[in-house]
Chain A
Amino acid sequence: MGRAVVQDLLYQGYQARFLEAGIQEVAETPVSVDVRSVVMARAMRPSPDGRGDLCAPGHIGPGPLLAFGATPLEFLRQLAGKGTAPAAARTGGRTWTDLRRGLIGWDGARGALTQVLAGAALAFRQTEQRRAALVFEELAATETGAWHEGFNLAAAQRVPLIVVLDAGDDGPRGDPARIERLARSYGTAFDSVAEEPFARIFSTVTDARNRALAGQGPTLIALLPRNAAEPWAAHDAFVEWARAEGGLSGQEVRMIAQAASAGVEHALRRLAKEPAAEPPDALAPVYAGRLPGPPWTRRDPPEPAARG
Chain B
Amino acid sequence: MSAELPPQVARTREGRPATVLEGIAEALWEEMERDGRVFLMGEDIGAYGGAFKVTRGFLEHFGPSRVIDTPISEGGFTGAAAGAAHMGLRPVVEMQFMDFISPAYDVLTNYIATSLYRGAGPLPLVVRGPVGGGNRGGPFHSQNVEMAFFHTPGLKIVYPATPRDAKGLLKSAIRDDNPVIFEEHKGLYRAPHCREMLPLGDETIPLGRARVAKEGEDLTIVTYGLMVHRSLEAAEELARDRIHVEVIDLRTLLPLDEDAIVASVQKTGKLLVVHEDTRTGGIAGEISMRINERAFEWLDGPILRVTAIDSPVPFSGALEDYFLPSVADVVTAARYLVRY
Contact = CB atoms under 8 A, between A and B. Distances in A.
B295 to A, nearest CB: 7
| Interface residue SS majority, chain A | loop
A84 to B, nearest CB: 12
A123 B83 contact: yes
A127 B87 contact: yes
Interface residues of A, number: 53
Contacts of B86: 97, 99, 104, 116, 119-120, 123
A87 B257 contact: no
A150 B111 CA distance: 14
Nearest to B121: A99
Given A118-B79, A118-B80, A307-B298, A88 B119 contact: yes
Interface in B55-99: 65-66, 68, 70-71, 73, 75-89, 91
Contacts of B89: 123, 126-127
Interface residues of B, number: 57
B117 to A, nearest CB: 5
Contacts of A146: 75-76, 79, 106-107
B193 interface: no
Interface string B269-312: 00000000000000000000000011101100000000000000
Contacts, number: 177
B75 A293 contact: no
A133 B80 CA distance: 13
B117 A108 contact: no
A112 B114 contact: no
A285 interface: yes
A146 B75 CA distance: 6
B325 interface: no
B76 A121 contact: no
B59 to A, nearest CB: 15
A187 interface: no
A289 B83 contact: no
A4 interface: no
Contact of A97 (B78, B119, B153, B178): B119
Interface string A151-186: 011001100000000000000000000000000000
A74 B84 CA distance: 26
B258 interface: yes
A197 B287 CA distance: 64
B75 A145 contact: yes
Contacts of B256: 293
Interface string A89-132: 01100011101000011011100101111111111111100000
A286 interface: yes
B46 interface: no
Residue from A90, A104, A122, A294 whose CB has the most chain B CB atoms within 10 Å:
A122
Interface string A270-308: 000000000000000111110111100000001011110
Interface of B: 39, 65-66, 68, 70-71, 73, 75-89, 91, 103, 106-107, 110-111, 114-122, 124, 153-154, 156, 176-178, 206, 208-209, 255-259, 293-295, 297-298
29 contacts: A87-B119, A91-B117, A96-B119, A97-B118, A107-B114, A115-B75, A115-B82, A116-B79, A118-B76, A119-B80, A119-B83, A120-B84, A121-B83, A126-B39, A126-B84, A146-B79, A146-B107, A148-B73, A150-B76, A152-B71, A152-B73, A157-B68, A286-B116, A287-B154, A294-B258, A302-B294, A305-B294, A305-B297, A306-B297
